[in-house]
C-alpha cells in the first residue's frame, strides 16, 4: 500500500500523464491543476504565495472530510470571504478604509455528481506531509459555546481574521463556522500547533496553542457546525 | 523496479525540501511583508482600517499617525511585532509574528513603520 502511494507520488512528481489511471485523477489534472497545487511544495516565497490561485490540495486526503467535499464540489459556496489573498480583492470605502470588492471574486466551478465522487476519491489519495499528522491526536471533549467563543475571541484573538457566523468576525481568513464539517480533526490539531509547517508563508500567526486549547478549538468548531446545520 | 521508483520519489521529495528550506530563509522586502501580513488589519494604506476591523473590539493602530507612533521606542515596536500585543500590555488582537519573520525582517519592518509615520521615537 505504501508502495502504491510512492508510485503515485513518483508519477505525479514526474508530471507524467496519469489520466488513464483513474477518472478523478484525470479530471484533477485537466480541470483543477491550473489553480490547485496537487504535488507540493507549498509557496516558499511571498511571490509564490501571491501567485497561488487556489488552496493547496497535495495533502487533501489528510485535511478534508470526504463527505463534505463530495457535496461541496457539486455546489461550491465561498469559504474565504476575501478570496485567496485579500489585497487582490479589496477596495477603498468612502472613509479610506478597506472593504471587499465582491466583483473581483469569481464562483468556483461545479462538478456533476459522478465526477464529484471520482474527484473526491482521487483527492483523498493525496497525503503529502503525512509526517505532520498524528492519528488520534484529537479526542472529543465537551465545551459550551460561550467558553469556546471566549477562547477564540478574547484570549487568543482569532476572531480578528475568521468569521464565527455569517457576517460576524474577520474576513482575511476562511470562515470557521463550517470548519467542523469540512476539516479532519487530526489535521486541525497539527495545523493549529504550527500553521507554517504546512504553509510556510501563510498570513496566519502561530499563537503556540497548547494541547488543551487545541482540543477546545476543535470542539468549538464542531459546535458551530452543528448550529449552522440546523 | 518498484524499489527504484520509491527511491526516485524520495529523491524528488528530498530535493524539493532542500529548495524549500533555502528559499524560506531568504529575507523578503519589508514593504512586501507589510502588505501581506499587516495590511489585513492595519490597512492597505497603513491607516488602521484593514479589511478585518469591522468586528474587532480594539482597533489596530494607525501607522501613519506620527503622534501615536512617536510615543513608542523602536525596541517596543520590534517586540510587539515579534511577540504580539500582550508582550507590551496591548491587545491580543495584535498577533505575534516571530515564527514568520527573521530578526532581520522584523528590523526591516520597524524601519518601514518609521517611514509610514514619518516619525521617530519622541518626535
Residue ranges of the domains in chain B? 27-117
Which candidate, A120, A94, A119, A91, places its Cα nearest to that of A105? A91
Provide the pLDDT for residue A22: 74
pLDDT band at A228 (very low <50, low <70, confident <90, very high): low
Instruction: Give the right CATH number for B27-117 from 3.40.50.1000, 3.20.20.80, 1.10.760.10, 3.30.43.10.
Output: 1.10.760.10
A101 grid coordinates: 470588492
Q: Does A112 contact B at CB distance below 8 Å?
A: no
Q: Give the other-Cβ count within 10 Å of B14's Cβ.
A: 10
Residues of A with Cβ-Cβ distance to B96 under 8 angstroms: 205-207
Q: What share of chain A is helix, strand, coil (3-state, %, to 5)?
A: 50, 5, 45
The residue of chain B with its CA nearest to that of A171 is B52
Q: What is the pLDDT of residues B45-81, one digit of tens each?
A: 999 999 999 999 999 999 999 999 999 999 999 999 9
User: How many angstroms separate the Cα of A23 from the Cα of each of A16, A18, A32, A107, B68?
Assistant: 15, 9, 13, 24, 60
Cβ-defined contacts of A101-110 (< 8 Å, 24+): A105/A78, A107/A76, A108/A76, A108/A78, A109/A31, A109/A76, A110/A73, A110/A74, A110/A75, A110/A76
Contact A207 B5 (CB under 8 A): no
Contact B47 A159 (CB under 8 A): no
Count residue pairs from A and B with Cβ separation < 8 A: 129
d(CA A44, CA A84): 16
Q: What value does the mean pLDDT take over residues A111-133?
A: 96
Nearest by CB: B36 against A46, A95, A161: A46
Contact A44 B24 (CB under 8 A): yes
| In contact, A82 and A171? CB cutoff 8 Å | yes
- Please provide the average confidence, as pLDDT, over all residues in chain B: 87
Residue B22 has pLDDT above 50, yes or no: no
d(CA B39, CA A82): 13
| Helix or strand (DSSP H, E) at A100 | strand A98-100
pLDDT band at B23 (very low <50, low <70, confident <90, very high): very low
| The residue count for chain B | 123
Which candidate, A172, A163, A165, places its Cα nearest to that of A204? A172
The residue of chain A with its CA nearest to that of B90 is A157
Provide the pLDDT for residue B26: 75
Q: Which domain holds residue A70?
A: 2-104+111-229
| HSE value, Cβ hemisphere, 13 Å, CA-based, for A112 | 2
Provide the pLDDT for residue A214: 97
d(CA A69, CA A178): 12
Residues of A with Cβ-Cβ distance to B15 under 8 angstroms: none
Q: What is the pLDDT of residues A88-115, one digit of tens each?
A: 999 999 999 999 999 999 999 999 999 9
Q: What is the ipTM of this complex?
A: 0.88
Task: Name the burial class of residue B95, with classes exposed (0-12), middle (13-18) and buried (19+) by CB atoms within 10 angstroms of its CB.
Answer: buried
Residue B11 has pLDDT above 60, yes or no: no
Cα dihedral A50, A161, B33, B19, rounded to 10, equals -50
Q: Give the other-Cβ count within 10 Å of A117's Cβ.
A: 18
Overall domain count for chain A = 1
User: How many angstroms separate the Cα of A115 from the Cα of each of A123, A175, B34?
Assistant: 12, 26, 41
User: How many angstroms separate the Cα of A230 from the Cα of each of A141, A163, A181, A227?
Assistant: 21, 18, 13, 5
In chain B, beta strands by DSSP E = none
Q: Which residue in the block uniquely carries the three cell numbers 461545479?
A: A110
Amino acid at each position: 500500500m505504501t508502495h502504491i502511494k510512492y508510485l503515485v507520488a513518483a508519477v505525479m512528481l514526474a508530471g507524467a500523464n496519469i489520466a488513464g489511471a483513474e477518472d478523478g485523477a484525470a479530471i484533477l489534472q485537466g480541470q483543477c491543476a491550473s489553480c490547485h497545487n496537487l504535488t507540493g511544495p507549498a509557496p516558499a516565497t511571498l511571490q509564490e504565495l501571491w501567485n497561488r490561485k487556489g488552496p493547496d490540495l497535495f495533502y487533501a486526503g489528510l485535511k478534508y472530510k470526504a463527505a463534505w467535499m463530495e457535496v461541496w464540489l457539486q455546489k461550491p459556496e465561498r469559504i474565504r470571504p476575501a478570496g485567496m489573498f485579500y489585497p487582490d480583492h479589496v477596495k477603498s470605502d468612502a472613509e479610506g478604509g478597506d472593504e471587499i470588492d465582491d466583483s473581483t471574486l469569481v464562483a468556483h466551478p461545479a462538478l456533476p455528481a459522478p465526477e464529484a465522487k471520482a474527484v473526491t476519491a482521487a483527492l483523498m489519495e493525496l497525503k503529502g506531509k503525512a509526517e505532520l499528522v498524528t492519528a488520534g491526536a484529537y479526542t472529543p471533549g465537551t465545551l459550551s459555546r460561550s467558553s469556546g467563543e471566549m477562547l477564540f475571541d478574547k484570549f487568543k484573538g482569532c476572531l480578528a481574521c475568521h468569521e464565527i457566523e455569517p457576517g460576524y468576525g474577520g474576513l482575511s481568513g476562511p470562515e470557521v463556522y463550517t470548519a467542523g464539517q469540512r476539516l479532519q480533526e487530526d489535521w486541525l490539531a497539527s495545523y493549529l500547533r504550527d500553521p507554517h509547517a504546512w504553509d510556510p508563508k501563510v498570513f496566519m500567526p502561530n499563537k503556540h496553542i497548547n494541547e488543551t486549547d487545541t482540543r477546545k478549538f476543535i470542539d468549538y468548531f464542531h459546535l458551530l457546525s452543528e448550529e449552522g446545520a440546523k | 523496479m518498484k524499489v527504484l521508483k520509491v527511491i526516485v520519489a524520495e529523491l524528488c521529495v528530498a530535493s524539493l525540501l532542500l529548495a524549500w528550506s533555502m528559499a524560506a530563509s531568504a529575507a523578503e522586502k519589508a514593504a512586501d511583508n507589510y502588505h501581506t501580513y499587516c495590511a489585513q488589519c492595519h490597512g492597505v494604506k497603513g491607516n488602521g482600517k484593514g479589511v478585518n476591523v469591522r468586528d474587532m473590539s480594539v482597533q489596530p493602530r494607525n501607522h501613519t499617525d506620527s503622534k501615536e507612533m512617536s510615543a513608542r521606542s523602536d525596541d517596543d515596536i520590534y517586540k510587539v511585532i515579534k511577540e504580539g500585543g500582550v508582550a507590551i500590555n496591548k491587545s491580543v488582537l495584535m498577533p505575534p509574528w516571530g515564527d514568520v519573520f527573521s530578526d532581520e525582517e522584523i528590523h526591516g519592518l520597524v524601519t518601514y513603520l518609521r517611514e509610514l509615520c514619518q516619525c521617530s521615537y519622541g518626535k
